[in-house]
Structure 1
């Protein structure tokens, strides 16, 4: 965690030194996510459809296009680039929904009864590239109201999970869980780690100081323990992946 905070500090210190015309924004997003975990059948994508949860984010943006209207302005990467810092809360629950858990066998009944709930806090730094000039997009006299973008970022996350079964208290009676999830094959509790985030979206200018934003992201976690099912089980050796769909509003702080 200390290394991550140091990296963030260095990035922002260098950006502050180089940028002479910084402008800032704040944004709020709400949406839903779908996480692929060790719940479900790996070769049956439909078994992941019900692994849906909610997401809530607040974001701060800094961009570097010039607010001044100089006749000799030079357009470049700075006219398309934003740096976004984000704090995101995610909640989700996972259950088995495949041919094995839907069978009437003893193992199928135990699988069907299992459920993991997860609460997660994500913090990260992202770089967003806008396809259209930010100068033109933010200029109230320019005829540009729609601006698509792509982004990439690094996240550090904290989570807490809880495993339950409708059959009873599995901690006092481990036989209530399928045999492969007994002993040290579970990772119930809290944890943390790194993730990478790839996303795309678009902004639509509602007013001079307010944008509507829609984005879809794919986040890869460098962890296989978020769902409480550890990779010690041979068939459960895939790290978690999350798709996140969000809608939000972005407000420009220092525009006239």
Structure 2
């Protein structure tokens, strides 16, 4: 299975420029924003199906910047003409950074349990990519006195990702003494080299207007990576969790 992240974030965006391209009969507006959130890393740490290790335990943070392009001007005009693209679509470019400390949430005092409890790692991921958002309500009147103050949406996107995992055992140096690791991690199962991978993501959220040129965006997303090594673990057995 592949590495996955669930992300919940809040973004503050500001409309900073709009212009009209009269020769093409197009009118666009742009926004820039910053976001901050929490990320749940679903990794090979922990047991498959365990709620703590898969959802609530390995929690990290996310921070980033976003750039939006709209197919209309944010200067609302009641008689302005628009089309489906302007009414419902936003294009989003994103640069973000995610990081979490990772561990097994294993109880017990058996030799294997002690070895798993001693394993600690981290995952750092830089995202760079684009997302297409579909808004269910009319965007051209969003935030005006004639329209809604909120705009729910779904999104689909693709990212290029730069990752750097770390790993250590509190029992000692696993490179010189692999016996401190559980058996399945002793042979070509730990990776700490940086790598570049790709991911796809799906998101759902809502945009809330808080001022004439500013919005807050609440966004939840699921991100799926093409590599199984972003968390630093890749054991070759049927119990490999993600």
1:154 to 135, 144, 158: 158
Instruction: Please report how far the alpha carbon of residue 69 of structure 1 lies from its aligned counterpart in structure 2 after TM superposition.
Output: 3.6
Give the number of the structure with larger relative contact order, counting CA–CA contacts within 8 Å between residues 6 or more apart: 2
2:57 to 29, 33, 50: 50
Match of 2:32 in 1: 26
Distance of 2:78 and 2:237 partners within structure 1: 63
State the number of aligned residues.
Answer: 219
- The answer for unaligned runs of 5 or more in structure 2 is 1-20
Pair 1:176-2:175 in alignment: no
Matching of residues 6-25 of structure 1 within 5 Å: 20-25=26-31
2:116 to 83, 89, 111: 111
Pair 1:164-2:172 in alignment: no
* Structure richer in strand, relative to its length: 2
Give the alignment's TM-score, normalised by structure 1. Answer: 0.79
2:220 aligns to what SS in structure 1? strand
Give the alignment's TM-score, normalised by structure 2. Answer: 0.84
1:120 to 122, 125, 132: 125
Matching of residues 1-256 of structure 1 within 5 Å: 20-48=26-54, 49-66=56-73, 69=77, 71=79, 73-97=81-105, 101-139=106-144, 141-236=145-240, 238=242
Aligned alpha-carbon RMSD (Å): 2.1
Instruction: Please report how far the alpha carbon of residue 155 of structure 1 lies from its aligned counterpart in structure 2 after TM superposition.
Output: 0.7
Deviations 1:17-52 (CA, angstroms, capped at 9, x unpaired): 978211100011001110111111113333322110
- The answer for unaligned runs of 5 or more in structure 1 is 1-15, 239-256
Distance 1:152 1:18, change over 3 A: farther
Distance of 2:90 and 2:147 partners within structure 1: 21
Match of 2:14 in 1: none
Distance 1:79 1:172, change over 3 A: same
